[in-house]
């Protein structure tokens, strides 16, 4: 195939930068991406791409049919923003109070539009069909992937690829992780109910704060003493709420947190052990409890063959350097696509100290090196060419 990867992707850099900044100034929260979806649909139609809007909610699906027979390959980008105040001092900072693109989704959308422009402009050299999934609501459970799948976005698709801009990697690096690559993301909330009373007479009460504190400490035993030390797992309590005054022993205390795992076996084990531990603490103190455990996105598991396709594509690229990554304990609802069809989700480096692209994802000053946009398009295009050449 004669599509020149190294030349075409950089040629789009200026346009992609403008588009990314347009989106960055107009962020929309999960399930509210109405203007973003409309804008994406307009850009695709300008290219001559077959467009379906309102897929599973605010999702947009573009289909590009090549001139030659071949496989049907899907690529996915997410479009939603986060409820965070943008604190960057840049001309393109968010114009929406308390909402910003703090995870690179504006870049993902821009890169997929770039891929669409390259392929649509070279239909005589495109094999099979390319399905472009612009997904809403990745940041908020239950996420947009499930509803888009239920609405038929994967119809006819035999493989899928997705990318995430990643500032912990410098621009030019592309990270790949075979097998379990991202964690299942579960949430729990525990309410402890004791008997309140006067702070000077604790013997007449069941102190919900003390019971909650003991339960929280004992939950730290789950990973250290019940989970195989070779299995990645995290139990973190992020919020504790109790009490009304300094001299009143609280009757109720509530705490909540997250569980991150890579295997379903460990996931189920932790859920079971948490229940036993909280129950045991409460039985020993005379308190009662209510534990709500909500399963979030499943672990994202990359398929071996598609992961090897990405590796070979990056190794043959002029601008990308392959990095073998360890699993990340963050979550992604791209995992749902991978439960339906084989595929691979990988990471495009976007960090650059010289451009102040150093803040972590979901930080109020998050930004990424915009040169990573053309690198990302090159990685996507190289992956497409590598897969279709072998299929």
| Catalytic positions, written as ranges | 80, 138
Task: Dump strand ranges (E) for 209-295.
Answer: 233-242, 248-249, 252-261, 288-294
Q: In sequence order, which residues have a C-beta less than 8 Å from that of residue 87 and are 6 or more positions away?
A: 364, 365
- Of 19, 347, 373, whose CA–CA distance to 163 is shortest? 347
β-pair type (197-198, 248-249): antiparallel
Distance (Å, rounded) from C-alpha 210 to C-alpha 217? 11
Longest Cα–Cα distance in the chain? 83
- The separation between the first and the last C-alpha atoms of the chain, rounded to the nearest angstrom, is 13
**Number of residues that make up the chain:** 391
DSSP codes joined into one string, 126-186: -EEEEEEEEES-SSSTT-SHHHHHHTTTTTT--EEEEEEEEEEEETTEEEE--EEEE-EEE
Residue 40 in tokens: 């994406």
Q: How far is CA 245 from CA 24, 27, 149, 250, 251, in A?
A: 43, 40, 50, 8, 12
Residue position matching structure tokens 């045991």 = 280
Distance (Å, rounded) from C-alpha 375 to C-alpha 303? 23
Element (H, E) at 217: helix 208-221
Q: In sequence order, which residues have a C-beta less than 8 Å from that of residue 391 and are 6 or more positions away?
A: 70, 71
Distance (Å, rounded) from C-alpha 53 to C-alpha 44? 11
Q: In sequence order, which residues have a C-beta less than 8 Å from that of residue 283 and are 6 or more positions away?
A: none
β-pair type (321-324, 173-176): parallel
């Amino acid at each position: 195939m004669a599509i020149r990867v190294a030349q075409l992707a950089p040629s789009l850099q200026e346009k992609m930068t403008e588009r990314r900044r347009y989106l960055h100034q107009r962020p929309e929260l999960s399930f509210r991406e109405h203007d973003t979806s409309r804008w994406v649909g307009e850009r695709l139609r300008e290219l001559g791409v077959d467009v379906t809007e309102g897929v599973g909610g605010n999702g947009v699906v573009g289909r590009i049919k090549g001139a030659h027979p071949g496989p049907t390959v899907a690529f996915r980008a997410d479009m939603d923003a986060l409820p965070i105040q943008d604190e960057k001092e840049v001309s393109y900072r968010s114009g929406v109070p308390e909402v910003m693109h703090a995870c690179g989704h504006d870049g993902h959308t821009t890169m997929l539009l770039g891929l669409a422009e390259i392929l649509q402009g070279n239909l005589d050299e495109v094999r099979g069909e390319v399905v472009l999934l612009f997904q809403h609501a990745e940041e908020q459970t239950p996420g947009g992937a499930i509803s888009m799948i239920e609405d038929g976005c994967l119809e006819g698709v035999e493989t899928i690829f997705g990318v995430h801009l990643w500032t912990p990697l410098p621009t030019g690096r592309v990270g790949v992780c075979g097998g379990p690559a991202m964690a299942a993301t579960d949430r729990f909330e525990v309410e402890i109910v004791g008997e309140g009373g006067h702070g000077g007479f604790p013997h007449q009460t069941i102190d919900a704060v003390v019971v909650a504190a003991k339960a929280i400490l004992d939950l730290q035993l789950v990973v250290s003493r019940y989970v195989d030390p070779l299995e990645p797992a995290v139990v973190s309590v992020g919020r504790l709420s109790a009490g009304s005054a300094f001299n009143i022993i609280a009757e109720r205390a509530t705490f909540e947190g997250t569980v991150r795992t890579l295997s379903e076996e460990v996931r189920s084990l932790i859920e079971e052990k948490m229940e036993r531990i909280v129950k045991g603490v409460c039985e020993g103190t005379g308190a009662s409890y209510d534990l709500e455990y909500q399963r979030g996105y499943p672990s994202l598991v990359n398929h071996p063959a598609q992961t090897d396709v990405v590796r070979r594509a990056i190794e043959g690229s002029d601008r990308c350097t392959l990095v073998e990554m360890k699993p990340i304990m963050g979550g992604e609802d791209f995992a749902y696509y991978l439960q339906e069809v084989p595929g691979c989700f990988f990471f495009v480096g976007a960090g650059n100290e010289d451009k102040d692209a150093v803040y972590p994802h979901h930080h109020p000053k998050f930004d990424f090196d915009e040169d990573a946009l053309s690198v990302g398009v090159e990685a996507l295009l190289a992956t497409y060419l590598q897969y279709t050449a072998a299929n």
